[in-house]
Amino acid sequence: MSRPSFCQCSCFFSHNIFIRKYNTHFTYSSRLQFLRDYNNILESVGCVSEVDQDALIEQIEQEVVRRKGLAKASQARRLLVTKEYTPLHADIYSLKEEHFTDEFLRLVTKAKSGECGEEDLVAVGMTPHRNRIYSFPIFTKEFCQKLLEEVKHFEESPLPKERPNTMNKYGVLLREMGFDEGFLDALRERYLVPLCSVLYPECGGGTLDSHWAFIVTYQTSTDKDLSFHYDNAEVTLNVSLNGDFTDGSLYFGDMRDVALSETTCCEYRHRPYYGVLHRGQHRHGALPITSGQRYNLIMWMRSSTARNALCPRCDRSPQLVPVQDGYGDGFTTSNRACVSF
């Protein structure tokens, strides 16, 4: 079976542009549109002078330029890494069952058994939390230690690196390191899709056919927290790779279609080597870390079946832009015309 052609929605170049200084996501198509649409918001966040507004617009326009060149630059970095990087632990680039805990393997076996519901997964080790958040031990301590050593080894290399997304400045893209084909594809297809098909069938849990995966790093001197947001995903996996930190819990509100004024939050405290599954449109953030370093593996899993009908970023029928390499934002052509950009 041939792999479909993956795409982005053109809104990637205009929507959800996060500016940390103002802790706000913006949509930008022109200066006129921006000043008209955000006049009241700019005033409320203290961006009132023409100098401040010019600086903000310049920063946004730079991000738009970066996004337009991102796919080509990412492909070039990946090819360079393939050619010049020598892994520290080459064995972890291919997924093996020995990387997993016995508890996680039991969960996957149960999910694949046929007649299975949430209560059946809970009975064999899945821990349910409020609002359909689930946690479970996933990777062994030994594997997590090797992965962290590999990430640090890569970070110390002179090779170019791209930040994970506009909200996380510190971390690495696992695709550019070479983890997609042998590791992440298998993790999603063989292990996570069976679980998500049971837990999140209504948002594409059984049809997750692409992903965007990265390691994020938190410490008091760099990124120490994460603002309230939702993910560009149908389902998110968040794995805590270490325990050498204090605080930094996740907090969850409601789904993004619930008014912020009506949102109540609950807290999830990270446990080393545990994974957390939640719906991508479930708003969440990270509280400040107060000591140490926290490393998390984040995997945004996407269903082209779900997002081809409605883009979760702009809430419209997607305007497809083809990508030459990788999964784009998880859209596929599906006999629809693409636009050039």
State how far the Cα of 304 lies from the Cα of 334, in Å rounded to an integer.
Answer: 9
Radius of gyration of the chain (CA): 20
State how far the Cα of 318 lies from the Cα of 310, in Å rounded to an integer.
Answer: 6
Dihedrals φ, ψ of 142, to 5°?
-65, -45
**Bridge partners of 302?**
210
State how far the Cα of 118 lies from the Cα of 132, in Å rounded to an integer.
Answer: 10
Per-residue pLDDT of the chain (341 residues; tens, 9 = 90+): 567 889 999 999 999 999 989 989 999 999 999 999 999 999 999 999 999 999 999 999 999 999 999 888 999 999 999 999 999 999 999 999 999 999 999 999 999 998 899 999 999 999 999 999 999 999 999 999 999 999 999 999 999 998 887 777 788 999 999 999 999 999 999 999 999 999 999 999 999 999 999 999 998 888 888 888 999 999 999 999 999 999 999 999 999 888 776 678 899 999 999 999 999 999 999 999 999 999 999 999 999 999 999 999 999 999 999 998 889 999 998 645 444 44
State how far the Cα of 246 lies from the Cα of 308, in Å rounded to an integer.
Answer: 41
Residue 64 in contact with residue 17, Cβ under 8 Å? yes
Domains of the chain: 69-307 (2.60.120.620)
For the entire predicted model, the pTM comes to 0.92
Residue 246 in contact with residue 186, Cβ under 8 Å? no
- Which segments within the chain are labelled E, that is strand? 6-9, 17-19, 24-26, 127-129, 133-137, 171-173, 210-219, 226-229, 235-240, 245-247, 250-255, 266-268, 274-279, 282-286, 289-302, 320-322, 331-332
pLDDT of residue 337: 46
